[in-house]
């Protein structure tokens, strides 16, 4: 009788070990799937942020170009005796227009060639 009881105990332990191994395998499979999904999401986020970085870098370059064009225009206008108030109004008007479109980059040249603020404002609208 004792022998039968020992066999039952050994079988229970064997079953418990077997089921624990099955649960561990399932958990490992789920863990690998979660890791793949996590890495995939990180790669997508990385691609998005790299694109955003390129876009913002381009926008920054456009703002640098606009700033240089405005500086050049102010220097040219200063040599022709334009008032400081007119120069400041041109900078204030164009300071909001860093949209990187070609006409925004060419706008300071309009000031340099004598267009008034009102004419330029109508071009912006």
Q: Model-level pTM? A: 0.48
> Would you state the pLDDT for residue 119?
47
User: In angstroms, what CA-CA distances link 27 with 22, 30, 39?
Assistant: 9, 5, 18
> Would you state the pLDDT for residue 74?
85
Token pair in block for residue 97 = 């227009």
DSSP helix/strand/coil, 81: coil
121 Cβ neighbours under 8 A, 6+ residues apart: 93
> Would you state the pLDDT for residue 76?
83
> Would you state the pLDDT for residue 8?
83
> Would you state the pLDDT for residue 85?
55
User: In angstroms, what CA-CA distances link 34 with 26, 29, 81?
Assistant: 12, 9, 69
Regions of the chain short of the pLDDT cut 50 = 94-100, 117-125
């Amino acid at each position: 009788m004792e022998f039968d009881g020992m066999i039952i105990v050994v079988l229970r332990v064997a079953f418990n070990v077997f089921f624990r191994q099955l649960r561990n395998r399932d958990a490992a499979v789920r863990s690998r799937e979660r890791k793949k999904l996590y890495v995939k999401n990180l790669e997508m986020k990385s691609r998005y942020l790299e694109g955003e970085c390129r876009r913002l870098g381009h926008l920054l370059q456009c703002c640098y170009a606009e700033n240089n064009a405005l500086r050049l225009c102010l220097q040219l206008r200063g040599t022709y005796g334009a008032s400081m108030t007119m120069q400041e109004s041109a900078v204030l008007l164009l300071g909001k227009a860093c949209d990187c479109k070609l006409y925004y980059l060419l706008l300071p040249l309009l000031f340099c060639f004598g267009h008034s603020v009102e004419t330029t404002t109508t071009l912006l609208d």
